[in-house]
Structure 1
Amino acid sequence: MVVVMGLRAVLFDLGGTLIRTAHPADIIRRILGKHGIERSVEEIALAHKFAEENTPLEDYGLPYYEFWIKWNRRIFDRLGVKDENDFLARVLVDEWWDNAGIEVYPDAEGALIRLRGSEFKVGIITNAFKKDIEEILKRVEMPIKFNVFVGIDSVKKPKPSPEIFLHAIRMLGIRPNEAVYIGDDPEKDYIGATNAGLRAILVDRSLAYMDRKNMIKVRNLNEALDLILESL
């Protein structure tokens, strides 16, 4: 279980790890409802999943608005939303974070406070655009200054691609095995990080991944910090 020897950086996923938001389907339903369009959460969730699974890798190299408008059009096509499709696709981008109900996990705040006085470099690697990271951090108060932010537009590829992790490593001027990455998704976060040569910790707040015996797991971020700091 020891993950600390030679460690110089602690890197975090953002959504589902440091912050929680409403489910994307709830956010979309809320925004569409304001514009007189009603669809069930279940319909929207299926359409959102379709967009996620059918976004070609090359789209991640598109500019911010172009990427999300194209993504939103896929959702609207599945929902049968034809009127003002282009207008609503942009509205969804512009109004997203105001309707997301962003909150910092209480254990995230405590863990970051514990890191504040340490010599570790601290950063975020997330499958969001850097503009999204900026919008989120405008709306919440984080008790630490991050050394690095890496989003999908940094390398034009999302997690679990090794490139997104290695970009952060290069920015910090360290080796991959000198960083630990903490996230809540077994494939995108844990396996993605370890495939890039980083160490990893899986945050499993809901105990959904008890069967993942070969992974270092914790129930919250304070437990993750216990693992990291216990030998220092």
Structure 2
Amino acid sequence: MIRAVLFDLGGTLIETAEIPEIFRRILKVFGITVSYEEIFNAHEACKKEFDVAAGQIKLGMEFWTEYNSEILRKLGIKHNVKTLAENISKLWWDNADLRFYPDVIDAVGWLKDREIKVGVITNALKEDYEQILQRLNATCLFDVVVGTDACKKAKPNRQIFMCALDMLDVKPEDALFVGNDLETDYHGALKAGLKALLIDRDGKNKGEVETIATLKEMLLHIR
């Protein structure tokens, strides 16, 4: 019997503007005009150069100053790079068009009505996910929220899943995890002993694993 449902955060419960667009908007605030395509290419290059999960665990929010600084350098920006990178982090959520997917509140309410515990496991840092939940007026929506700084591990590591389950006092076999990333969410949860569903809101999955398109479909898997 399912006693707890745990969710990934970004791409599963919340959606935002695209990262290059957020970056472009913030640079415009400081009088810097760069195209979406240029930022996209710089961001993609940095994704290959940086281990984001390990960097956040080691450096905390300072990681994002380093990451944003490198994007700025790749864009040819040479002056006040660190200060600008810090301001990008500070202004990020103001420019992100942050919102829940339309099916989230009803799905969470359905679970709570049946006394099923609800939580979040995210590879974000506490400072970020707390801002997200505050801005969405959702600080009390979940029974537990676990990020990478809670146990110094990131998905797909088993330990971050167990950290959340221990807080809920739920065994892995009695929990379902729902996320949008095949490796970190779906396979990570299965290897930790949880049941898992891949949420594929854009229809990109080729049907190799158990997939849902909406959280409403998830409810059919709750027994």
What TM-score comes out, normalization by structure 2 length? Answer: 0.92
Aligned to 1:22: 17
Moved more, 199-208 or 57-66: 57-66
Q: Match for residue 130 of structure 2?
A: 134
Change (3 A) 1:226 1:144: farther
Which digits, 9 at most, give the CA deviation of each residue in 1:3-49, with x for residues without a partner? xxx32110011111111100111100100111122222122122222
Alignment of 1:33-112 (within 5 A): 33-56=28-51, 58-112=54-108
Q: Pick the aligned partner of 1:180 from 176, 186, 189.
A: 176
Amino acid at match of 1:40: S
Q: Give 5+ residue unaligned stretches, structure 1.
A: 1-5
AA matched with 2:29: K
Q: Measure how far apart 1:108 and its partner are.
A: 1.1
| Alpha-carbon distance change, 49 to 160 in structure 1, aligned in 2, over 3 angstroms | farther
- What amino acid is the match of 2:149? D
Contact 1:182–1:202 (CA under 8 A) maintained in structure 2:
yes
Question: Map of 1:117-128 to 2, 5 A cutoff?
Answer: 117-128=113-124
- Counting aligned pairs with the same residue, the percent is 43
Determine if contact 1:10/1:122 at 8 Å carries over to the other structure.
yes
- Provide TM-score, normalisation by structure 1: 0.89
- 8 A contact 1:60–1:157 mirrored in 2: no
> Cα offset for 1:66?
1.1
SS at match of 2:137: coil
Q: Give the 3 Å change call, closer, same or farther, for CA 79–162 of structure 1 in structure 2.
A: farther
Q: Would the aligned equivalents of 1:111 and 1:222 in 2 still touch at CA under 8 Å?
A: yes
Q: For residues 168 and 68 of structure 1, do their structure 2 counterparts lie closer, same or farther at Cα, with a shift above 3 Å needed?
A: same
Equivalent residue for 1:226?
220
* Structure-2 separation of matches of 1:108 and 1:145: 11
Q: Please list every run of at least 4 consecutive aligned residues from structure 1 whose deviation after the TM superposition is greater than 3 angstroms.
A: 141-144
Asked whether the 8 Å contact 1:205–1:220 carries over to 2, the reply is: yes
CA positional deviation for 1:120: 1.3
Amino acid at match of 1:172: L
How much does 1:143 deviate?
9.7
The one of 185, 207, 216 equivalent to 2:210 is 216
Question: Is contact 1:60–1:158 with CA below 8 Å preserved after alignment?
Answer: no
Find the counterpart in structure 2 of residue 158 from structure 1. Answer: 154
Q: Which residue of 2 aligns with 1:3?
A: none
CA distance in 2, matches of 1:96, 1:219: 28
Q: Following TM superposition, by how much is the alpha carbon of 1:206 offset from its aligned partner in structure 2, in angstroms?
A: 1.4
Give the 3-state SS of the residue equivalent to 2:219 in structure 1.
helix
1:106 match: secondary structure: coil
**Counterparts of 1:194 and 1:129 in 2: how far apart (Å)?**
23
